[in-house]
Every structure is written in structure tokens, then in C-alpha cells.
Chains A and B, each alone.
Chain A
Amino acid sequence: MKYDTENPALEAPTLSLGSNEFYLPNGLVGFPEINHVDVIYDEEELPFMWLRSNTEMDLSFIVIQPNGIVDDYSVELMQADVDELEIKNSEEVMVLNIVIIKNESGGRKIFTNLVGPIIVNRRTGVGKQVIIQNYEDYSARHLLYDESADDGGEEA
């Protein structure tokens, strides 16, 4: 039950094998105070990583990079966001989707927000939680994994 979001004892790993620090001038939607963040991960826990606030020390989010995890997900950015983040090409962009883990009676369900990813310009170290241009194609609560529907590893 490492990822039990209802468990107050849950803590982000203190040992990080990799580290990515960046700045969110506007914070996250609903969390404007989360400006200086760090993405840390433990190789054992991939594809799940932790977005940890360096200012609000107790607050973190579980995130994924969607490549290879979410099928048919293409991120189209609004021009205003491209300009604001000074994005020159797609190679300098890192996409992070926030994950929600719910422990329900039938088992664990894992969702991710595909509508509002965090877009980071690796070159400048500045990021923003945006609404993608093609948001109508996706859900803010996309089901990634449903333990109760898991039939033992076969593709559903």
C-alpha cells in the first residue's frame, strides 16, 4: 500500500536517484504557492514519480510521463503557453501528468489528468500547468489502471 493517498503516513522517498528541479511561476491550479518543485523518482517505482514542492515541504503529487503509458495521447499546446514558456521545439518539452490513486472496495484505481498536464521547458527550467488545446479529446480523470478489472495480465 505504498501509494495509498488516504494514508497520512505516506511520504515521498527521501533518497532520489534522479532529480529535476524547476520553477512554476503560477504554481498548480488551486495551489498557486507551489512554485519551486522537484521531480524525484526511485527506479523501482517508475513510471510513477514524485513532484515535490520545495517550499510547501509536506505537499507532493504523483506524476507520470505519459509516453508509453497512455495510448494515443497527443498534447497540443495553446500558442499563449508556447510563448509564455518560450518553447522553441518539442525536444525541450517535458510533459508530466498528475496521478490520482483511489483505494476503492473493489480494489485500487489509478487515474491521470490528461486535460491539464504540467509542461516544462527543460532548457529554461520553467513550467506551467496548462489546459491543452485539444482538451475535448481527453478526460481530467482518465482511468489508467483498475485492479478490480484486472484479469491477470491479459490486454482487456
Chain B
Amino acid sequence: MLVLTRKTDEAIVIGSDIEIIVTRVDGENVKLGIKAPREITIYRKEVLDQIRESNLEAAVGPKKPKKREPKPAAKKAPKPISKSAKNLLKKLA
């Protein structure tokens, strides 16, 4: 992995059209500005990891891969399911 040291307002360029600027450093928080073409999707890695874990857990079939690490806890308390949905689920029980 390439590791670079940058100061506030300094940037790095990836390829010909992606630029990442350090806009602010505050303790352990680093604020980044990202300039990229609009077809490039930018995700927070932990969100992508959550989805990967969720997919692994949801996969049904003999080829289900082993879970690798525990999932982070959900951020919000779950809302109760609506009555109509509950009735549908009941039919399946």
C-alpha cells in the first residue's frame, strides 16, 4: 500500500480525473474532499462491509461461504412491522 503524508489543503490525484483533498484535520477526524467523474461511486468502506456481511448471511445454498467477522450492531432500533406484513408473515409460520 502506498502511504503519503499530506497537509491541510494538499491533495493527491489518482489517474487523470480523481482528486482527493485534505480539507480539515481535527484530532482523529480527517475531512476529505473528493473530485471525481459522476459515474464513479464513492462509498464509506464500513457501509460496503455491512452489505457484504449481510449478503453472506442471507445466501441460501450449499455454497454459502463462511462468515468472516462479526457484524457491527445496527444503528437504529427496529420499527415494529406493519400489521398487514405481519399477517403475511404469519401465513408462512
Q: Do A and B come from one complex?
A: yes
Which chain A residue has the least Cβ–Cβ distance from B64?
Answer: A59
Contact between B51 and A113, CB atoms less than 8 A apart: yes
> Shortest Cβ distance from B1 into chain A, in angstroms?
22
Q: A29-B52, A140-B54 are in contact. Are A62 and B60 (CB under 8 A)?
A: yes
Cβ-defined partner of B55 (8 Å) among A98, A143, A147 = A98
Contact between A59 and B71, CB atoms less than 8 A apart: no
Residues on A with beta carbons closer than 8 Å to the beta carbon of B80 = 155-156
Which chain B residue has the least Cβ–Cβ distance from A82?
Answer: B38
Contact between B86 and A98, CB atoms less than 8 A apart: no
B interface, CB within 8 angstroms of A: 38-41, 43, 47-48, 50-65, 71, 74-76, 78-93
Contact between A142 and B58, CB atoms less than 8 A apart: no
Contact between B54 and A8, CB atoms less than 8 A apart: no
A interface, CB within 8 angstroms of B: 2-3, 5, 8, 10, 12, 28-31, 44-48, 56, 58-62, 68-72, 78-81, 83-84, 98-100, 108, 110, 113, 115-116, 129-131, 135-136, 138-145, 147, 150, 153, 155-156
Cβ-defined partner of B57 (8 Å) among A44, A58, A100, A147 = A100
Cβ-defined partner of B47 (8 Å) among A46, A108, A115, A129 = A115
Q: A71-B79, A135-B47 are in contact. Are A100 and B54 (CB under 8 A)?
A: yes
> Shortest Cβ distance from B39 into chain A, in angstroms?
5
Contact between B81 and A145, CB atoms less than 8 A apart: yes
Cβ-defined partner of A99 (8 Å) among B58, B75, B82 = B58
Known contacts A46-B88, A69-B82, A80-B39; 18 additional CB pairs below 8 A are A8-B62, A29-B52, A30-B56, A56-B61, A61-B59, A61-B60, A79-B38, A80-B38, A99-B58, A116-B50, A131-B51, A139-B78, A140-B47, A140-B74, A141-B71, A142-B79, A145-B89, A153-B90
Cβ-defined partner of B39 (8 Å) among A84, A115, A139 = A84
Contact between A59 and B61, CB atoms less than 8 A apart: yes
Contact between B78 and A142, CB atoms less than 8 A apart: yes
Which chain B residue has the least Cβ–Cβ distance from A4?
Answer: B60
Residues on A with beta carbons closer than 8 Å to the beta carbon of B63 = 56, 58-59
Cα of A153 to Cα of B80 in the assembled complex, Å? 12
Cα of A79 to Cα of B36 in the assembled complex, Å? 13
